[in-house]
Amino acid sequence: MTTLTRIRLPVVCLAGLAFLSAACHSSNADPTLPPPGTVNPDQFLFDRGTAAMTQKHYLEAREYFRKIVDGYPQSPRRAEAKLGMGDSYVAENRIDSDILAINEYREFIQFFPTHPKDDYAQYKICIAQARQILSAERDQTATTEAIKQDDLFLDRYPASPFRPDVEKLKRAAQDRLSDHELRVGLFYFRLKGFGGATDRFNYLLAHDPGYTNRDVVYYYLAESLMAVKLEPAALPYYQKVVTEFPNSKYAEASKKRIAALKR
């Protein structure tokens, strides 16, 4: 091997190593970062995040939005990016992602308390919380929290276009609480604990006069009163079934009770 060859070999090796290093660095670069020299990199990230949301690539969208929130504190897109993070979690439609979404929206309201989309953030909190409500026979802690968030929205944003939707969410949550109370009353009724059943049904009507399934409550409250020989007190509830819920499955039985009591 000549002296020239001995000199050239190390030079070639070093050049190869430099090329491999550059290639590795390029392959390890974060694909969600704006290319060097990008004008308005925050807008670049926001556009990419919005496009990813449209394509239902929620994790990817979240990464773009997160870079704006964390890396561009003065960006005019920062508030919308924070909302985008919450929206990406809600779109995944899982209990765990809904919990993370609620946190993002709460932080949005905390960081941007005068933002025109604050009502949207609270609206989304109401939706995410409503998804955590359990069936009537299970624990109703999530239901109580859902009503709390609905009331917060209705108190803070009386003119919001989302108000009708939140009112529906609140009604559904209240119905779930009342369904739970109704189940307890029916349990007492079936065990012939008519005093306990009457107390439960009266409590339900007092605390939720707009309950969707009032016909069931009216009917079984009347039946409980009949069972303890309080026929005059039962009659008005049978009449409520017939007048307020003419298509109820309890309407025909109530009519027969009314006719018998009037005789």
Instruction: Please report which confidence band the pLDDT of residue 263 belongs to, taking 50, 70 and 90 as the band edges.
Output: confident
Residue 95 vs residues 3, 143, 146, 181, 188: alpha-carbon distances, Å: 71, 14, 14, 25, 33
Q: Given the structure tokens 């919001």, which residue do they identify?
A: 160
Closest C-alpha among 205, 198, 201 to residue 174? 205
Specify the pLDDT at position 15: 44
Q: Is the pTM of this model over 0.85?
A: no
d(CA 36, CA 255): 79
What mean pLDDT do residues 63-74 have? 95
